[in-house]
Amino acid sequence: MIRKVHSYTTPLLAITLATLTGCISNPVVIDNNASVKVAGYTGTAQNHLEENGEIKVNRDNLHDLLVVGKAFHDAGMWAESNDVLNSASEKLMWKEDSIDTPEEALRFVGTTVTNDTLADYTGRIYEGMMLDYYIAMNSLMLGEENLARVNFNRLEQRQGNAEIQLQAYTRSIQNANTDPEDSYDRELVNNTLEQASDSEFDRGLQNLPANLNAAQIRSPSGDLVNAIFRQTSSSDQDRKSDKTKNAISSVQSRAADDSSRRFAGDLELAFKNLKEEFVFVVYEDGVGPSINEFRIDLPLALVSDDLLYAGVALPEFVPGSSSNNSITISQGENQSSTVLVTDLNRLTSLEFQSSYDAKVKKEVASAVIKTVAQIAANRAIDEETSDNPLAGLLMKVAVAGTAAALTQADTRHWNNLPNHIQLGMMKKKADVPLTLKSATGQHLAKAPYTPGHQLIYVRQQSVGGDVKVFSQRLPARETAMEIATNWAPAE
């Protein structure tokens, strides 16, 4: 038995317009990865500059800030990247690990009658960590040790807080009440959930990495690059600080991959021998994970001839893709390969997994509310257009279109992160250049020897695509130098 809720029709139409107009992001931002394939990292970053060189970004839009900030970072435009990422940081300050009604939960509940994409993008816990990681890396590549120290401290705080924040986030999302107020509608939601097969709803989770746990939300590369910075800093205070030891033990006790834990141990040994010169390699590989939308036509526990659309849209986790399993750095006969340290699939999927069940329930509740409104609206249309069935049909199509437009999964995510962050290191010989090759032996770049410790930073999104290589002397006192590669943008 369906009841009348005529007053839904107008709000639904109004919200449709908002849906169609309010969620359009900068197309250059959306197509960032495609742009890198054609124009390379520098060409893509140039898209975010005005003709006079000023940065072109919507500073009210966190999602755009993250993508544009990373695009500048990938191009080696460290100062521009920090300018943009610092704006993003102001929007990602929330810590909220104990507040009764976190903003995320409020946003979650508040968009039940519409959809998540209508709310501002508030960011993810892992995005806060990666944001501070890139700000710290930018400072290091700019040769600004004082700034790098402060930014690595912020990263350390974020990382330290992330696990408990994830637990609090999970709790608040699961406790968020998205049930319809009306008991009849609540019953419809429960019946619908029972009738829908779990496997259909679980499609969104099918590609998640195995054995996830909250402790793995900490990024090992953040800890280990922090440790490298401390031990190669020009300040004695950095080398004496407990922060190196804390970073190494955090990776050894929490990292998901054996390779990260082993590398942390190797690094600890290397730190005891820093009178020798070392080269450290940070390699950002591939395209990070993404989120797609999939739709399910609901076996709604309500049947009506007046119904033209009833379905839910859910997010589906899509794993990232790698370009190289590792890269090799060599100097004469000496050579060493990078190892996986941070798997972005693991990092990003923790929040996705923890909120997924609540999202399913919310979307079903949303579908029920919209369906009840749709049926009521269609009955009203029938009454008012009984002498003109064609006009009535057209109006019903409009109502169904509204419901369909409002059914939209939130697929926003930081889409130009790498798939993996790999680290490597090797003892250096004096005056011999360093050669970088892919795992398949393809030449990537030749970096000149610089006295003292050296950081080589490599970014490659896809095989055959642009490769960016930078070399920074450690301690970092000047801006890193870019190393030429063979890649050139298509004419």
Burial class for 31, CB neighbours closer than 10 Å (0-12, 13-18, 19+): middle
Beta carbon of residue 302, minimum distance to another protein (angstroms, whole number): 16
Q: Is 315 helix (H, G, I), strand (E, B) or coil?
A: strand
CB of 10 to another protein, least distance (A): 11
Which residue type does 177 have? N
154 binds another protein (CB under 8 A): yes
Residue from the set 195, 213, 235, 388 that interacts with another protein by CB under 8 A: 235
Question: Smallest gap, in angstroms, from Cβ of residue 70 to another protein?
Answer: 20
Q: Give the residues across from 471 on adjacent strands.
A: 456, 481
Q: Between 36 and 373, whose beta carbon lies closer to another protein?
A: 373
DSSP string, 110-169: HTSSS-GGGSPP---HHHHHHHHHHHHHHHHHTT-HHHHHHHHHHHHHHHHHHHHHHHHH
Using CB under 8 A as the binding rule, whether residue 241 contacts another protein is answered as: yes
Give the CA-trace dihedral at 230, 92, 138, 130, to 10 degrees: 70
174 makes contact with another protein (CB under 8 A) = no
Closer residue to another protein (CB): 83 or 182: 182
Residue 227 · residue 243 · CB < 8 Å: yes
Q: Binding segment for another protein among 30-38, 175-183, 219-227, 376-384 (CB under 8 A)? A: 175-183
388 near another protein, judged by CB under 8 A: no
Applying CB under 8 A, does 11 fall inside the site for another protein? yes
Cβ proximity to another protein: between 99 and 394 the closer is: 99
| The only residue of 30, 150, 193, 393 in contact with another protein, by rule CB under 8 A | 150
Q: Considering the rule CB under 8 A, would residue 246 count as an interface residue with another protein?
A: no
User: Shortest approach of another protein to residue 324 CB, angstroms?
Assistant: 35
Among 107, 171, 186, 379, binds another protein (CB under 8 A): 107
3-state secondary structure of 328: strand
Q: Which of 147, 291, 393, 481 binds another protein (CB under 8 A)?
A: 147
CA-to-CA dists, residue 46 to 39, 41, 86, 309, 363, angstroms: 10, 9, 19, 44, 39
Q: What residues from 396 to 455 belong to the interface with another protein (CB under 8 A)?
A: none
CB of 452 to another protein, least distance (A): 19
To the nearest whole angstrom, how small is the minimum distance from the Cβ of residue 171 to another protein? 12
Smallest distance, another protein to C-beta of residue 259, A: 30
249: contact with another protein by CB under 8 A: no
- Closest C-alpha to 225, from 455, 7, 461: 455
Least separation in angstroms between CB 152 and another protein: 10
Among 39, 109, 193, 439, binds another protein (CB under 8 A): 109
Identify any residues that bridge with 387 across adjacent strands, giving them in sequence order.
Answer: none
| CB nearer another protein, residue 178 or residue 328 | 178
Identity of the residue, 217 or 469, whose beta carbon is nearer to another protein in the bound complex: 217
Residues 6+ apart with CB under 8 A from 5: 372, 373, 376
Smallest distance, Å, CB 178 to another protein? 10
Beta sheet of 327-331, edge-to-edge order: 334-337, 327-331, 434-438, 443-447
3-state secondary structure of 456: strand
Virtual CA dihedral for 170, 174, 178, 183, nearest 10 degrees? 180
Binders of another protein in range 66-105 (CB under 8 A): 93-99, 101, 103
Contact 310, 297 (CB under 8 A): yes
Could you report how far apart the first and last alpha carbons of the chain are, in Å?
65
Separation of alpha carbons 473 and 491, rounded Å: 34
In the complex with another protein, which residue's Cβ is closer, 230 or 453?
230
- Least spacing, CB of residue 209 vs another protein, in Å: 28
Give the residues lining the site for another protein (CB under 8 A): 5, 7-8, 11, 93-99, 101, 103, 106-107, 109-110, 112-113, 146-147, 149-150, 153-154, 157-158, 161, 164, 180-182, 185, 235-238, 241, 369
